């Protein structure tokens, strides 16, 4: 199982079947594509949050939406582990003790979606994250890390009806990660105290949304991909993610400008700094201001559990993310 860093927001994925020059070329084409196709983002329906069957969907960072539109999203968040036993290892890899402490995470991101036509659009996302510990023992055991990630891709409509939307997306991305690992440095000073990596990854996804009525809607997605893992000699692997969220909008029916969302997500590449021993499982409770047709302010609360290899431990993460979403 590949090792993942929550400090990047992207998995340290193992090498995929495509070559690095090929992925770099795709990234370049994706980056230049919107400018070559159009100087602006023309869309037939602009300035409105995603709507189906009179239901305005509550936006969330937990589940990607299924709509091709022009939006700008900004997020900032914080999370930490909950009552976690952090293993401490000797330089030779033996676990010698555990400390009860927290790992702390800060993250922020900007995402832009540009609807070139009503059926196809371009998307770009930039994330920056950092990880630390709540005590000296935790920092010595898990180290410090910081990173940033760039994701570029296309999204396209596959099928649409009055009450539902099915779309797909194809993305490629890169992550820049810097690690300060005291334990590894003590075991092998030749490695240096800090190490930097720039793994590449790619994925395809299917997204679905259904509006049952003006009050209730449902969003879901599935994603598969492949990428590089610098901690495992750039070996080959694949990953997947699945998730769904129910949307409850009170604005249309009760004239209360609030929306709520409840969701669940599982992943084969848990976002953790330790070695996962199985799939992660996460839950979402979200509240949003829905008083405007083109703007939403969201507060996402997430709880995630990740099984860890060490002595059948399960790491639990609790996080809060504030998001702004504007539709052009």
Quick one: average pLDDT of 108-132? 93
Using DSSP, how many helices (H) and how many strands (E) does the chain show?
4, 17
Question: Does residue 81 register a pLDDT over 70?
Answer: yes
Q: Under a CB-based contact definition with an 8 Å cutoff, are residues 164 and 209 in contact?
A: yes
Residue 250 CA to residue 287 CA, distance in Å, equals: 11
Tell whether 262 is covered by a domain. Answer: yes
Nearest 5°: phi and psi at 312? 55, 35
Question: Does residue 34 register a pLDDT over 80?
Answer: no
Share of the chain above pLDDT 90, in %: 49
Cβ neighbourhood burial of 200 (10 Å; 0-12, 13-18, 19+): buried
More confident residue, 187 or 172: 172
Residue 199 CA to residue 176 CA, distance in Å, equals: 7
- Mapped onto helix, strand or coil, the DSSP state of residue 219 is strand
Question: Does residue 15 register a pLDDT over 90?
Answer: no
Quick one: average pLDDT of 172-177? 86
Q: Dig out the tokens for 164 from the structure.
A: 């539902």
Question: Does residue 231 register a pLDDT over 70?
Answer: no
Q: Are strands 144-160 and 120-133 parallel, antiparallel or unpaired?
A: antiparallel
User: How many structural domains are present in the chain?
Assistant: 1
Question: Does residue 39 register a pLDDT over 60?
Answer: no
Tell whether 92 is covered by a domain. Answer: yes
Q: Dig out the tokens for 319 from the structure.
A: 């996080």
Tell whether 317 is covered by a domain. Answer: yes
Quick one: average pLDDT of 128-145? 72
Residue 250 CA to residue 44 CA, distance in Å, equals: 27
Q: How confident is the model at residue 315 (pLDDT cuts 50, 70, 90)?
A: confident
Q: Which domain holds residue 148?
A: 20-31+41-327
Quick one: average pLDDT of 296-311? 86
**What's the mean pLDDT when you consider all of the chain?**
80
Q: How far is C-alpha 116 from the geometric centre of its chain's CA atoms?
A: 24
pLDDT for 88 equals 63
User: Considering Cα of 184, then 187, then 188, then 192, what sign does the dihedral take?
Assistant: positive
- DSSP assigned state of 81: E
pLDDT for 4 equals 37
pLDDT for 201 equals 87
Tell whether 13 is covered by a domain. Answer: no
Q: Are strands 164-180 and 200-211 parallel, antiparallel or unpaired?
A: antiparallel
Q: Under a CB-based contact definition with an 8 Å cutoff, are residues 84 and 100 in contact?
A: yes
Quick one: average pLDDT of 256-284? 82
Q: Under a CB-based contact definition with an 8 Å cutoff, are residues 320 and 300 in contact?
A: yes
Residue 280 CA to residue 292 CA, distance in Å, equals: 35
Quick one: average pLDDT of 248-266? 96
Q: How confident is the model at residue 16 (pLDDT cuts 50, 70, 90)?
A: very low
Other C-beta atoms closer than 10 Å to the C-beta of 93 total 8
Residue 166 CA to residue 14 CA, distance in Å, equals: 30
pLDDT for 43 equals 47
Quick one: average pLDDT of 204-217? 98
- Mapped onto helix, strand or coil, the DSSP state of residue 30 is helix
Question: Does residue 128 register a pLDDT over 60?
Answer: yes
Residue 182 CA to residue 185 CA, distance in Å, equals: 5
pLDDT for 99 equals 66
**CATH number of the structural domain spanning residue 156:** 2.40.128.130
More confident residue, 68 or 199: 68
Tell whether 258 is covered by a domain. Answer: yes
Cβ neighbourhood burial of 305 (10 Å; 0-12, 13-18, 19+): middle
Question: Does residue 204 register a pLDDT over 50?
Answer: yes
Q: How confident is the model at residue 203 (pLDDT cuts 50, 70, 90)?
A: very high
pLDDT for 248 equals 98
C-alpha closest to that of 31 among 120, 123, 97, 165: 123
- DSSP assigned state of 312: G
Tell whether 9 is covered by a domain. Answer: no
Question: Does residue 6 register a pLDDT over 80?
Answer: no
| Upper half-sphere CA count for residue 27 (Cβ side, 13 Å) | 18
Tell whether 209 is covered by a domain. Answer: yes
Q: Which has the minimum average pLDDT: 115-124, 136-145, 285-294?
A: 136-145
Question: Does residue 54 register a pLDDT over 70?
Answer: yes
Q: Which helix (H) or strand (E) holds 200?
A: strand 200-211
CA distances from 286 to 6, 40, 319, 324 (A): 21, 32, 12, 13
pLDDT for 32 equals 45
């Amino acid at each position: 199982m590949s090792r993942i860093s929550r400090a990047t927001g992207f998995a340290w994925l193992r090498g995929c079947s495509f070559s690095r020059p090929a992925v770099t070329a795709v990234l370049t084409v994706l980056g230049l594509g919107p400018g070559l196709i159009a100087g602006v983002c023309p869309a037939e329906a602009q300035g409105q949050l995603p709507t189906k069957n009179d239901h305005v969907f509550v936006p969330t960072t937990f589940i990607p939406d299924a709509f091709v539109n022009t939006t700008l999203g900004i997020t900032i968040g914080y999370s930490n582990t909950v009552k976690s036993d952090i293993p401490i290892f000797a330089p030779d890899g033996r676990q010698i003790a555990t400390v009860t402490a927290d790992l702390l995470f800060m993250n922020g991101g900007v995402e832009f979606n540009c609807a070139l036509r009503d059926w196809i659009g371009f998307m770009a996302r930039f994330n920056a994250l950092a990880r630390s510990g709540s005590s000296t023992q935790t920092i010595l055991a898990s180290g410090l890390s910081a990173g940033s990630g760039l994701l570029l891709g296309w999204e396209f409509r596959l099928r649409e009806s009055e009450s539902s939307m099915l779309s797909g997306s194809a993305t490629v991305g890169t992550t820049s990660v810097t690690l300060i690992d005291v334990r590894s440095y003590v075991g092998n000073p030749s490695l240096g105290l800090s190490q930097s990596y720039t793994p590449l990854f790619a994925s395809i996804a299917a997204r679905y949304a259904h509006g049952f009525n003006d009050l209730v809607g449902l969003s879901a997605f599935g994603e598969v991909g492949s990428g590089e893992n610098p901690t495992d000699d750039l070996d080959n692997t694949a990953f997947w993610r699945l998730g769904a969220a129910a949307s409850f909008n009170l604005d249309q029916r009760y004239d209360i400008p609030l929306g709520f969302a409840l969701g669940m997500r599982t992943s084969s590449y848990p976002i953790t700094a330790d070695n996962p021993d199985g799939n992660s499982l996460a839950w979402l409770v979200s509240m949003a201001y829905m008083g405007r047709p083109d703007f939403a302010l969201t507060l996402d609360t997430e709880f995630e559990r990740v099984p860890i290899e060490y002595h059948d431990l399960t790491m639990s993460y609790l996080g809060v993310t504030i998001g702004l979403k504007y539709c052009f």
